[in-house]
Amino acid sequence: MKTLDPRMQAALLACYVTPDAEFREIAAAHGVDREQLQEEWFDLEEQRRAYRARPALLPAPEPTRMAAHA
């Protein structure tokens, strides 16, 4: 895993919390290169996609019922 400078980390966080903002706006606000920010963002998205939960191939088992106490 590569180390990012704090400005790039802040810019990536800004991308995450303000998805409606443009890369150029965020890059300018944090003093980073827009192209580099986009590359880092899409690399991060690819890594996240690999860890997302995948649907199970089999249906979930029926819950078992406990016997009532006498």
Q: Can you tell me whether residue 52 is helix, strand or coil? A: coil
Domain-wise residue ranges, the chain = 6-51
Q: Compute the distance between CA of residue 41 and CA of residue 59 in angstroms, rounded to an integer.
A: 35
Asked which of 24-28, 43-47, 53-57, 62-66 is least confident by mean pLDDT, the reply is 53-57
Q: If you write DSSP's letter for every residue of 22-66 in order, what string do you get? A: -HHHHHHHHT--HHHHHHHHHHHHHHHHHHSPPPPSSPPPPPPPP
Summary count for the chain: helices (H), strands (E): 3, 0
For residues 23 and 34, the answer to whether their CB atoms sit within 8 Å is yes
- Mean pLDDT of the residues in the chain: 85
pTM, full prediction: 0.67
Return the pLDDT at 23.
Answer: 95
- Asked if pLDDT for residue 50 goes beyond 80, the answer is no
Confidence of residue 51 (pLDDT cuts 50, 70, 90): confident
